[in-house]
A and B are shown apart, each in its own frame.
Chain A
Amino acid sequence: STIVLLFEAPKNFQFDIVAGQTIKVGESLGHI
């Protein structure tokens, strides 16, 4: 199963993740 988030955010939004990493509920996905 898969969760897909599609969202609008300010242009200076930066992801804090890398493809392939494992992640847990509540960990930061990105910052503005």
Chain B
Amino acid sequence: RNAISRWTGFLLRWAPMGLCVFGAIEWQLHKFRSIRDGAPRTASEFQSRVYCSLPLRIMSRCWGWLAACYMPNPLRPYVYGWYSSMFKVNIEEALYSDFNHYSSMAEFFTRPLKEGVRVINGKSPLVSPADGKVLHFGSASDSLIEQVKGVSYSIEDFLGPLQTVEQSREAMSYAQALKQKRDGSTELYQCVIYLAPGDYHRFHSPTAWEPTVRRHFSGELLSVSPKVAGWLPGLFCLNERVLYMGHWNHGFFSYTAVGATNVGSVEIYMDSELKTNRWNGFKVGAHPPSTYEYDELLLNAKQHGKQSLQKFEKGDLVGQFNMG
């Protein structure tokens, strides 16, 4: 019993110190390696695993529960006023600019805008689906594409397997097999838009297009702030996300809403079966990165003799991000 108590005392005293020293050495080594290779300082595999094993889903669900709690009237101007000044919310654009209208933080977060405060560009073939910051954009014809300058993610890990057996049999790259036009006249492109906490958190359709399949990838709820997106490769393949694939008049089209710690839930108005940020138990670190399951729903109901569920016009309201 003496020996056990001595060992316990020793471990309690020195283990935290040992972990800190190990973390510091790992951090310095990684910094040295990235300076030596001239590559951007991104997370190592070890750092990525440590980050993924944090209990972020529990935190996200607790935050969601708190945000949905009733906000007493006397507190509303102070709490929403503080949030608005902290995150530069333009409350004059909101449909209800009186703070007292919102009975919870969650309702304030998903506030609708006044009619006409966002003008949909009639001439452009593709418009912004959301208010936010352009993280990155450009060609997406390689298997690895950039989430921000210098930090990439795998297009196949992000979208999942090709939809048809014919596509997967084609002797060409995944990105080329995605394309619906085979005459070489088209390219794949991508655009990544980050929504900050103070932004309007409903999102719209960027063009006229028809989704035919929905994939919901369970995953982590890591932060997707520009800092983390510039540090953690494959971030968008690790996070929980809802992906709609289909076509527009130039070929393949996909639209993905990626969740984050404080905004873990995605609500798509035309897809009531979609449930996100579900409790997945204590499977801490259960997945090696970017190998998450996903559930798939064919939206093209023509196969069941009905009309397809949904065609979006440019500017149509698609859904919203919810807190927690």
Contact = CB atoms under 8 A, between A and B. Distances in A.
Interface string A1-27: 111111111110101111111111111
A28 B195 contact: no
Nearest to A29: B126
A6 B159 contact: yes
B192 A28 contact: no
A7 B263 CA distance: 25
Given A3-B255, A6-B256, A30 B118 contact: no
Contact of A28 (B124, B158, B254, B315): B124
B128 A8 contact: no
A18 to B, nearest CB: 7
Contacts, number: 177
A27 B118 CA distance: 8
Nearest to B196: A22
B236 interface: yes
A7 B252 contact: yes
- The residue among B140, B149, B193 with the most chain A CB atoms within 10 A of its own CB is B193
Contacts of A23: 128, 131-134, 193
Interface residues of A, number: 30
Given A22-B132, A22-B133, A7 B195 contact: no
B259 interface: yes
Contact of B189 (A1, A13, A18, A25): A13
Contacts of A16: 124
A25 to B, nearest CB: 4
Contact of A8 (B138, B236, B252): B252
Q: Which 3 A-B pairs have the closest CB atoms?
A: A8-B251, A28-B124, A26-B120
Interface of B: 118-121, 123-138, 140, 148-149, 155, 158-159, 178-181, 185-195, 200-201, 203-204, 206, 224, 229, 236, 248, 250-260, 263, 266, 315, 321
14 contacts: A1-B259, A1-B260, A1-B263, A2-B229, A6-B252, A7-B190, A8-B187, A10-B185, A11-B187, A19-B136, A21-B133, A22-B133, A26-B120, A31-B123
